[in-house]
């Protein structure tokens, strides 16, 4: 198994307890650079991988394939952890790495563990409360929407379909013992107050 592990915005005091546990349990911990390596070092000696900061798509693809081959032997037989600054689900290369592993090593399971993202870290650092709706983008046109407190998801989905959204996932009471994840037609009429609806065009 390969776990993409969020290491937070760079301050060692902002590592989660879950992150520390996984760093200690992993057979090997991989990192993409020096800042991540320094965060991991108190718990494990990490393996540094090359992830170039470039727009050259061929070079990026070649590095991802090379890194996948270094990770695969560990992930096939044990627990490989890939420590990433921020959160592995926000604008990270982890999903692309998992895609390449799926092509060449389809038996390897990939999953993520969240970390404090740059979005919430920014709000704290700048003392800017993020309320109401807001857009986060890396410059691309937004193709997805996240709706908090999705108490009536079916009704929300009906409206979102009119706006061109086609893919829907509902997570209810995430990371509580009774967490539930619904997709597509499984999504119920009503859900808990602590529910999040994801929609993609």
Domain range summary for the chain, segments of one domain joined by +: 2-119, 144-200
| Rounded Cα gap, residues 186 and 194, in angstroms | 18
Per-residue pLDDT at 134: 86
Taking 70 as the pLDDT cut, the residues of the chain under it are none
Per-residue pLDDT at 16: 97
> Of 3.40.50.300, 3.10.105.10, 3.40.47.10, 3.40.1010.10, which CATH number belongs to 2-119?
3.40.1010.10
Per-residue pLDDT at 138: 83
**pLDDT of 22-73, one tens digit each?**
999 999 999 999 999 999 999 999 999 988 777 888 998 999 999 999 999 9
| Rounded Cα gap, residues 80 and 89, in angstroms | 17
| Rounded Cα gap, residues 4 and 31, in angstroms | 10
Torsion sign, CA atoms 36, 40, 41, 45: negative
Per-residue pLDDT at 131: 85
């Amino acid at each position: 198994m390969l776990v993409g592990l969020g290491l937070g915005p760079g301050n060692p005091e902002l590592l989660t307890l879950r992150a520390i546990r996984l760093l200690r349990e992993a057979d090997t911990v991989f990192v993409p650079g020096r800042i991540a390596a320094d965060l991991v070092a108190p718990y494990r000696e990490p393996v540094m991988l090359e992830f170039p900061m470039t727009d050259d798509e061929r070079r990026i693809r070649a590095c991802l394939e090379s890194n996948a081959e270094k990770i695969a032997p560990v992930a096939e037989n044990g627990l490989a952890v890939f420590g990433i600054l921020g959160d592995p689900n926000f604008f990270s290369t982890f999903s692309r790495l998992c895609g390449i592993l799926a092509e060449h090593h389809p038996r390897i399971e990939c999953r993520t563990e969240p970390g404090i993202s740059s979005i919430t870290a920014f709000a704290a650092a700048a003392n800017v409360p993020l309320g109401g709706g807001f857009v986060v983008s890396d410059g691309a046109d937004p193709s997805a929407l996240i709706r908090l407190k999705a108490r009536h998801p079916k009704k929300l989905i009906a409206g979102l379909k009119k706006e061109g959204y086609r893919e829907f996932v509902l997570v209810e009471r995430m990371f509580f013992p009774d967490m539930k994840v619904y997709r597509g037609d499984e999504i119920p009429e009503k859900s808990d107050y602590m529910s999040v609806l994801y929609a993609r065009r």
